[in-house]
Amino acid sequence: MNQLLEDKVVLVNGGSQGVGAGIVRAALREGATVAFTGRRTELGEKFAAETGATFVRADLTDPAQARGSVEQVVAAHGRIDCLVNAAGLTSRGTLLDTTPELFDAHVAINLRAPFFAMQAAVQHLVDRGAPGTVVNIITSSAHGGQSFLAPYVAAKSGLMGLTRNAAHAHRWDRVRINGLNIGWTAACIA
């Protein structure tokens, strides 16, 4: 039986739990070589041992580590064919009570981290002259909002715009860039 991702190298940012962990498992089932990032070493190493995927410890709020996650996977596996940006923060905050610190935390993980990971992955694909895929996990709330998730919706709406812009900019490079506007998801978060 042919597997959809056979002979593909997939990096899932935010893959140690939640939606990202589900994506790691699905990509492995489809035959991919999978690496994933996470901030917590113990959790990441445990999930790597359970699944056979490669764990890359990274704090994606640091642009150097977001780019570095791509570089580490290329060093370990020779290339990346697909990047999935699934890391996210959903802490509550309204327009009236969100602090600058909470707003900045949302932008750092929900928008800036995918930007710099995409920058490294797309540059790698362009340099290789190879087709590839980027999938950004966005949110259906970016289309209508959630009053108690103001900084989250603001950052994810930015990611939606970035996804559209990057898809347009790199279509002739054979880099497919899409966003999934998922809704509330039951996930085990450690």
Structure tokens at 105: 């935390």
Q: State the pairing for strand pair 54-57/33-38.
A: parallel
DSSP state of 16: S
CB 185 within 8 A of CB 17: no
CB 122 within 8 A of CB 165: no
Structure tokens at 188: 């085990």
**Which of these is catalytic: 27, 152, 158, 162?**
152
Tell me the C-alpha distance between 4 and 26, whole Å: 10
Q: How many CB atoms lie within 10 A of CB 110?
A: 27
Q: Which helix (H) or strand (E) holds 172?
A: none
To the query of whether residue 152 is one of the catalytic residues in this protein, the response is yes
DSSP state of 30: T
Active-site residues, by number, are: 152
